[in-house]
């Protein structure tokens, strides 16, 4: 449903709620669970959310619930009676239920885990025991498992029996009797095969898989690289623990991209949506890096103080400091952003360090030469002094070259130290280049202008 239509429908539902016209609301509810979840989430009052949720048929209600934000899921669970909450939690897919428990206070998690059946409780506890950033937190055991000695006919009969409750049936995983992963077979290949053929004869033995402790971002990159629908997750003995599906890893990529953008903008990651995040938490997360940058930027004032005499003799030198530091900062940010992005999607690795630095050095030199000429012409039109123009132009060119090298090398250096390269934010690169650029500017000016 289009965003505008969804918003109009939400407004109509709100009006009908005020009139207590529940029959009309039930007729208005869209067929897709994603759209119903969006309407419920847009409502402000808790009891209105509960009213709409109780109008949905039980089976669809589970799907709608899984599309709600964690805050709304928690709110609804608190409002439902114990039996309703028990049925809902037991019917949820394990990965979605894990996401919900991760967002809840510990005392609520303890309460709701006791609502689960022994089998579901075992799955929930096992998943929650994996490290927060591991792919194990996303795993679901709802996959179709086949065995090597099954025939095509037996496999299809098995899929018909169990497939309804599974996350996906498009790829079925072949196990031995010890639950070790031996291969994978697609539904298409199964359907087209002869009924008497053994699964071991048509399965693909080269299975792309990940260990349960693999980082979520790394798993997402594998998923994207091989264009998968589902990714099997195994333990250290190659036993299949479950699968991770496309929708879960898309969320991981979105979360990682958001976190990288925040770091590049010199903001500590904010876990909640903008309007829902705690005001003072946002203030702290945004001011933390700004405080560090103010302290680093103070080195610029020390450099300027050192060259105070030169500024007094050539006041015009101060006119072009903003051009120098802004352009240098922009060049450094360009370089850092490209390298951080390339590291994130696997286009470059640490082994490419010298290739990257050499390439960025060449790019910096060429851009520096272009902007040296631009700077000389620009300054001459304002001051009509060739020596000053050349001083500014050469300083600009050298600063841009160094900015490109600094912007490329620092993210790689951080990756080498096992830190997130995105910590090399645009503002941080700009601050470093500012200090270096001012120093270069005045040294060149003293040399050319004789001051």
- pLDDT value, residue 187: 92
pLDDT-based confidence at 234, cuts 50/70/90? very high
75: left (phi over 0), alpha (psi -120 to 50) or beta: alpha
Query: H or E segment at 66?
Result: helix 58-67
Question: How far apart, in Å, are the Cα atoms of 403 and each of 144, 269, 413?
Answer: 54, 26, 15
Report the 10 Å Cβ neighbour count for 130: 18
Give the CA dihedral 442, 446, 448, 450, nearest 10 degrees: 160
378 in a structural domain: yes
Structure tokens given for 165: 């409750």
- pLDDT value, residue 257: 66
Helix intervals (H) in 348-385: 353-383
Together in a domain, 391 and 286: yes
CA angle 89, 94, 97 (to 5 degrees): 50
CA angle 335, 338, 342 (to 5 degrees): 140
- Of the candidates 335, 268, 229, 271, the residue with the CA atom closest to the CA atom of residue 102: 271
The answer, yes or no, to whether residue 223 has pLDDT greater than 60, is yes
CB 411 within 8 A of CB 360: no
414 in a structural domain: yes
Domain ends where: 121, 137, 153?
Answer: 137
Together in a domain, 299 and 339: yes
User: What tens digit of pLDDT does each residue of 83-119 get?
Assistant: 888 888 888 888 888 888 888 887 888 888 888 888 8
Question: How far apart, in Å, are the Cα atoms of 371 and each of 241, 439, 446?
Answer: 57, 19, 21
Backbone angles phi, psi at 175, to 5 degrees: -120, 160
**Which is it for strands 230-234 and 240-245: parallel, antiparallel or unpaired?**
antiparallel
The answer, yes or no, to whether residue 156 has pLDDT greater than 90, is yes
CB 395 within 8 A of CB 437: yes
pLDDT-based confidence at 207, cuts 50/70/90? very high
User: What tens digit of pLDDT does each residue of 30-77 get?
Assistant: 888 888 888 888 888 888 888 888 888 877 888 888 888 888 888 888
Together in a domain, 131 and 155: no
Together in a domain, 149 and 201: yes
Report the 10 Å Cβ neighbour count for 231: 26
More confident residue, 426 or 195: 195
The answer, yes or no, to whether residue 451 has pLDDT greater than 80, is no
Together in a domain, 148 and 131: no
Structure tokens given for 423: 């910590």
79 in a structural domain: yes
Domain ends where: 241, 256, 271?
Answer: 256
The answer, yes or no, to whether residue 407 has pLDDT greater than 60, is yes
Question: Domain of 107: which CATH number?
Answer: 1.25.60.10
Together in a domain, 122 and 147: no
Together in a domain, 342 and 443: yes
Together in a domain, 313 and 394: yes
Together in a domain, 381 and 424: yes
Structure tokens given for 179: 């639950």
What is the average per-residue pLDDT within 258-274? 62
User: What tens digit of pLDDT does each residue of 138-147 get?
Assistant: 888 889 999 9
- pLDDT value, residue 191: 92
| Strand arrangement of the beta sheet that strand 230-234 belongs to | 210-211, 230-234, 240-245
The answer, yes or no, to whether residue 164 has pLDDT greater than 60, is yes
Enclosing domain of residue 63? 3-137
pLDDT-based confidence at 2, cuts 50/70/90? low
Question: Domain of 424: which CATH number?
Answer: 1.10.357.20
User: What tens digit of pLDDT does each residue of 68-84 get?
Assistant: 888 888 888 888 888 88
166 in a structural domain: yes
Together in a domain, 385 and 421: yes
The total number of structural domains in the chain stands at: 3
The answer, yes or no, to whether residue 266 has pLDDT greater than 60, is no
Q: Give SS3 for 211.
A: strand
Q: Please give the share of the chain, as a percent, with pLDDT higher than 70.
A: 92
What is the average per-residue pLDDT within 205-211? 93
Structure tokens given for 141: 């055991």
Structure tokens given for 126: 């096992």
User: What tens digit of pLDDT does each residue of 292-306 get?
Assistant: 777 877 787 787 788
pLDDT-based confidence at 259, cuts 50/70/90? low
- pLDDT value, residue 269: 62
- pLDDT value, residue 309: 78
33 in a structural domain: yes
CB 444 within 8 A of CB 398: yes
269 in a structural domain: no
Radius of gyration of the chain, Cα coordinates, nearest whole angstrom: 30
Together in a domain, 243 and 153: yes
Question: How far apart, in Å, are the Cα atoms of 76 and each of 30, 83, 123, 131, 267?
Answer: 20, 13, 23, 27, 32
CA angle 150, 155, 156 (to 5 degrees): 155
Terminal C-alpha separation, the chain: 69
Domain ends where: 80, 102, 137?
Answer: 137
How many angstroms separate the CA atoms of 260 and 255, rounded? Answer: 9
Together in a domain, 306 and 291: yes
User: What tens digit of pLDDT does each residue of 326-370 get?
Assistant: 888 888 888 888 888 788 777 888 888 899 999 999 999 999 999
422 in a structural domain: yes
Q: Please give the share of the chain, as a percent, with pLDDT higher than 90.
A: 20
- pLDDT value, residue 21: 83
* Mean pLDDT over the full length of the chain: 84
Backbone angles phi, psi at 172, to 5 degrees: -115, 140
261 in a structural domain: no
Question: Domain of 184: which CATH number?
Answer: 3.10.580.10
């Amino acid at each position: 449903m289009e965003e505008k239509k969804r918003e109009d429908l939400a407004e109509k539902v709100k009006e009908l709620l005020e009139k207590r016209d529940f029959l009309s609301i039930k007729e208005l509810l869209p067929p897709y669970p994603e759209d119903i979840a969006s309407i419920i989430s847009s409502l402000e009052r808790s009891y209105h959310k509960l009213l709409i949720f109780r109008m949905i048929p039980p089976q669809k209600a589970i799907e709608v619930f899984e599309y709600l934000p964690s805050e709304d899921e928690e709110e609804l669970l608190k409002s439902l009676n114990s039996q309703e909450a028990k049925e809902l939690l037991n019917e949820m897919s394990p990965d979605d239920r894990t996401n919900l428990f991760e967002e809840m206070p510990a005392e609520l998690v303890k309460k709701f885990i006791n609502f689960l059946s022994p089998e579901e409780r075992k799955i929930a506890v096992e998943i929650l025991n994996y490290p927060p950033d591991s792919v194990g937190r996303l795993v679901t055991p709802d996959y179709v498992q086949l065995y090597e000695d099954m025939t095509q006919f037996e496999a299809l009969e098995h899929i018909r029996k169990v497939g309804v409750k599974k996350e996906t049936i498009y790829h079925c995983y072949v196990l031995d009797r010890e639950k070790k992963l031996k291969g994978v077979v697609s539904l298409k290949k199964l359907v087209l095969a002869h009924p008497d053929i053994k699964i071991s004869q048509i399965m693909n033995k080269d299975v792309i898989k990940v260990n349960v402790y693999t980082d979520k971002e790394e798993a997402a990159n594998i998923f994207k690289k091989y264009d998968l629908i589902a990714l099997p997750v195994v333990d250290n003995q190659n036993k299949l623990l479950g699968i991770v599906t496309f929708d879960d890893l898309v969320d991981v990529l979105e979360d990682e991209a958001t976190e990288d953008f925040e770091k590049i903008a010199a903001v500590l990651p904010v876990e909640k949506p903008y309007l829902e995040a705690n005001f003072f938490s946002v203030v702290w997360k945004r001011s933390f890096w700004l405080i560090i940058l103010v302290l680093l930027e103070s080195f610029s004032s020390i450099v300027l103080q050192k060259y105070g005499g030169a500024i007094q003799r050539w006041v015009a030198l101060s006119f072009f400091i903003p051009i120098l530091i802004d352009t240098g900062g922009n060049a450094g940010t360009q370089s850092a952003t490209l390298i951080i992005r390339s590291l994130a999607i696997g286009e470059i690795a640490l082994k490419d360090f010298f290739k990257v630095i050499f390439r960025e050095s060449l790019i910096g030199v060429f851009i520096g030469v272009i902007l040296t000429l631009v700077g000389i012409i620009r300054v001459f039109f304002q001051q009509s002094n060739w020596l000053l123009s050349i001083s500014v132009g050469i300083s600009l060119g050298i600063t841009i070259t160094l900015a490109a090298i600094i912007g490329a090398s620092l993210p790689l250096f951080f990756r080498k130290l096992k830190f997130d390269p995105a910590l090399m934010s645009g503002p941080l690169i700009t601050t470093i280049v500012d200090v270096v650029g001012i120093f270069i500017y005045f040294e060149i000016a003293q040399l050319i202008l004789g001051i």
